[in-house]
Structure 1
Amino acid sequence: MGGPRRRGVLGLAALLTAGGVAFAGVGTAQAADSAVTAAGTAHSAVTGAGTFAAPKKKLKLGAKGKTVVLLQKRLAELGYRPGKADGRYGGSTLTAIWAFQKVNGIKPTSTISSRTWNALEAPKAPRILVKNGKPTRAEVNLSTQIMVMYVQGVPKLITHISSGSGIPYCETTTWQGKSQRFCGSARTPTGNYKTTWRRSGWHKSYLGQLYNPIFFNGGIAFHGALSVPLYPASHGCVRLPMNVAQALPAMLGKGVPVHVRGGFKR
């Protein structure tokens, strides 16, 4: 949930302002062919192999122009959420770049250099955490701080996240008209869950404001936040960039499996 923890790593409040996701009854051979076709379709949806020629022009946060448009369109094609293809390299595009870089084994940075451009030409698919999971599901990788939303087996949304910091906390806040003190451990537990209730717009919880929260483990939810830094910083929820939190509710319905795996190493 809410509560940003301050560090020397760039948060997104300012950046977001600057910036503005066995076959039953089928013979064995036919099932195998269908499985290969489905896997190939999913892989192609992520890699877009042979469809992109990178300009190799170095870009920095704040850049504008046609090369940024090309970057934004490529990220969107691969399932990332850079925001509108408006030619402005702002906060939404930055978080999409972070997600892409992490999936491709590149240290997250705001600078788009040759290594990132090369990866955009031949990208890797995100690592599948649950091999026999439902075709439509959400997977949260705490180790890489990535969430992937699969729709019918295809990764339709890949995003940078910030999960629970793991640090014990005590917060004093006004809740239900009374000043109350809450203490706990800011953890995002691993396990298998399902989405439950949700709210549209800003929702006030006892630990802060959550944008478009979708709950999946008690009081733990996916939600938009103005700060989604490059380290776990929440009280336990899975923070999302604001533009991702706007898109996710239409994709992630009630009762959809959510799998949380891994652990962040500092």
Structure 2
Amino acid sequence: MSEPFDPWQDESGPEHAHVPWHVQWRSTMIAALVFATVVGIVVYQRDHRSQSAPLTTSTSTTAPGVCGTPNQAITCFSQSRIIRRGDRGEDVRRVQQRLKDLHFDPGYIDGLYGGDTIMAVWAFQGVVMKRSKDVMVDFVTPEVWDIMRGDVAISPRRQPGTPQHVEIDLPTQTMTVFQGQKLLLVTHISSGTGEQWCEEVTIDPGEEGNKTKEPIKKGICGEAKTPGGIYRFYMRKLGQRESKLGTMWNPVYFNFGLAIHGAMQVPAQPASHGCIRIPIFISEYFPVMVKYNDRVYIWDGVKEPEEYGSQPPPWDKDDPNYTTTTSSTSTTVPSTPRTTVPKVTVPPATTPAVTSTTAG
């Protein structure tokens, strides 16, 4: 059967011939069908996209970046808890890895939030967050993690002519090492307490105050101050050293016996006799990062280093009350060979025995 034909009469005729309803409304029906088809395609595509790529909501305050790339924002993972000493987990491992990528040293990346990682977190708070030693905390909040995984840039405050230089900031208890504009290391430190002290000290040959070939003991009084100013490295020693300022590990000297050296105890607050303590595991490689005559800048929070120049530390003096004599009731302890472990002082038998270790 052929398709229906529209039998229009000639326009001169009195009227048109009868037109069936399906013919009369055909154009309208076709238009409606086309519209419905287009709408159906759009709805299908939208629903298909929704099913294949579910909508995600990010709680991060940082811009998107490449996960795990040094100096880029890590937005792959958020943090839902406060990480405290002794905590374990993948979030701890991410904190450690991020600190390592940014040239802090958290120690082993093992997922355990311990002392080495806490010292690196202190340094991060000081250098990046500009927190002073008085407001630093031992834990990592989600807010601190968001800053840590964001875009972090650490630039030198000075650009001297030496290949490397060190910047020490006493208010934040931090130290940064640069090679030109390139950041090599950021670490927590502990500097001089500013207090007066009098102690019996052991001084190894070659240290300030001992020009002999044997260790000597004497009573010394001094002021535990780390002066601000500009200095240069002039000497280094390998291993454990005993000086007027205490026990040092791999010291690199910059100011009349003051040195940057490793120590077993590097607390959040100043604790030394004037030296710059760094974590002992960092002191294993720090000395090879710098050379003789490389410059050291120290900010004390009062003046710029250039305003001080190269001021010496406070001069120590002999303790007027020190004596090497002992009473007849004292017990003599046989001497033992020197070892590389911290020394143990045994007092006279008439008093309780106390073990003490003093670092510079």
TM over 0.5: yes
Which of the residues 37, 51, 72 maps onto 1:49? Answer: 72
Greater radius of gyration (CA): 2
Which of the residues 143, 155, 159 maps onto 2:171? Answer: 143
Change (3 A) 1:233 1:64: same
Q: Secondary structure at the match of 2:283?
A: helix
- Alignment partner, residue 170 of structure 1: 198
- Alignment partner, residue 180 of structure 1: 218
Which of the residues 282, 287, 303 maps onto 1:244? Answer: 282
Q: How far apart are residue 47 of structure 1 and its match?
A: 7.6
Q: Aligned partner of 1:139: which letter?
A: E
Does residue 79 of the first structure (1) align with residue 103 of the second (2)? Answer: yes
Q: Deviations over 1:229-256 (max 9, x none)?
A: 1211111100101122122112122221
Q: Does the 8 Å contact 1:47/1:122 carry over to 2? A: no
Q: Deviations over 1:72-104 (max 9, x none)?
A: 110010010001212221111110011001221
* Greater helix fraction, Structure 1 or Structure 2: 1
Identity of aligned residues (%): 35
- Alignment partner, residue 161 of structure 1: 189
Q: Secondary structure at the match of 1:119?
A: helix
Q: Secondary structure at the match of 2:84?
A: coil
Q: How far apart are residue 199 of structure 1 and its match?
A: 1.3
1:59-138 equivalences under 5 Å are 59-103=83-127, 104-106=129-131, 107-122=135-150, 124-126=152-154, 128-131=156-159, 134=162, 136-138=164-166
Which of the residues 213, 231, 248 maps onto 1:193? Answer: 231
Tell me the number of residue pairs that the alignment of Structure 1 and Structure 2 aligns.
Answer: 219
Q: Deviations over 1:28-75 (max 9, x none)?
A: xxxxxxxxxxxxxxxxxx981334544314211111232222111100
Q: Does the 8 Å contact 2:163/2:294 carry over to 1? A: no
* Greater strand fraction, Structure 1 or Structure 2: 1
Change (3 A) 1:178 1:193: closer
Give unmatched runs, 5+ long, in structure 1. 1-45
Change (3 A) 1:150 1:258: same
Q: Aligned partner of 2:122: which letter?
A: W
Q: 2: distance between equivalents of 1:258 and 1:117?
A: 31
Change (3 A) 1:211 1:174: closer
Q: 2: distance between equivalents of 1:125 and 1:93?
A: 20
Q: Does the 8 Å contact 2:163/2:179 carry over to 1? A: yes
The alignment's C-alpha RMSD in Å is 2.2
Q: How far apart are residue 173 of structure 1 and its match?
A: 2.7
